[in-house]
Amino acid sequence: MADYLIGDIQGCYDSLQALLKKINFSLDKDQLFFLGDVVNRGDKSLETLRFIRDNSDNTSMVLGNHDFHLLACVFGSIRPSNKDTFTDVINAKDASLLLEFLANQPLFIQHQDALMVHAGIPPNWDLNTLKSQAQQVQAHLQSDDLSGFLSKMYNNNPYTWAEDLSELEQCQYTINALMRLRFCKANGELEFKHKMNFNQAPSGYKAWFEYENRVLKNTDIFFGHWSTLENVNQAHIYPMDHGCIWGGELSAIRLSDKRIFSLKC
């Protein structure tokens, strides 16, 4: 019996199946946790999403920015770009089931002593803030006004966390932080432009996990989203997007011993 955590699949269903074969994944015994961005950019978003939903007794996932983008395109007022490749999901006969399933997925998972999130956790957030903020967004995603909510959520503002933000501003910040964070300031001010490795941070910023006084620095955190990360040697920090969609690798990490299994894509 093993728990495996898998980084960004982005519709690379064939790579996922090859990786599951490589780790001898068993639906009878093992559990899979997907770290978000299960859809988009690759050519089999539909198969990937169906696999996760059909096997939901053995699979869990957190929402990534691409998963959220799909929801915003279907239910919100966002138009897909010509780089988006999820029309297979939108046109599927089981689309409404799959999209409802996606809208019900969490922004983070706490399992044993580990936290899983798509992009990162602001350095100044404690576990209670993470939980309450993620749950606040999830309640909106499950409400009757999903369309209205998603239409208001596609925004870079506010860049910085503050307790006195309005509820909708808190949701905007939380979505951007948990699903898009790479570089930020110690107060959680987000930076959205740069995607290079952590040791090339833009002036005034650091990778979110590099802050000395980060509140959750003694908790194991598994995340995806940042495919250019290399040589991160930070206790309790496990970057798992190894760039499958960009010709890199798809990787699974076994929770019990932190062993990583990778497959060239």
Q: Where do contacts with Mn ion occur on this chain (CB under 5 A)?
A: 37, 64-65, 225
Which of 25, 45 has the CB closer to Mn ion? 45
Contact 184, 122 (CB under 8 A): yes
- Cβ of residue 247: shortest distance to Mn ion, in angstroms? 17
Which of 99, 179 has the CB closer to Mn ion? 179
- Cβ of residue 37: shortest distance to Mn ion, in angstroms? 4
- Cβ of residue 232: shortest distance to Mn ion, in angstroms? 17
Q: Tokens 């096997």 correspond to what residue?
A: 55
Structure tokens given for 2: 């093993």
Structure tokens given for 190: 């987000």
Q: What is the CA radius of gyration of the chain?
A: 17
Which of 37, 191 has the CB closer to Mn ion? 37
Cα distance between residue 127 and residue 147, in whole Å: 29
- Cβ of residue 180: shortest distance to Mn ion, in angstroms? 7
- Cβ of residue 24: shortest distance to Mn ion, in angstroms? 28
- Cβ of residue 227: shortest distance to Mn ion, in angstroms? 9
Structure tokens given for 37: 């961005």
Which of 64, 76 has the CB closer to Mn ion? 64
Cα–Cα distances in angstroms (integers) from residue 41 to residues 33, 81, 222, 243, in the given order: 20, 11, 22, 12
DSSP string, 155-187: -----S--TTS-HHHHHHHHHHHHHH-SEE-TT
Pick from 131, 72, 66, 63: which is nearest to 101 by CA?
63
Which of 64, 106 has the CB closer to Mn ion? 64
Which of 25, 265 has the CB closer to Mn ion? 265
Query: In this chain, which residue has its C-beta nearest to Mn ion?
Result: 225
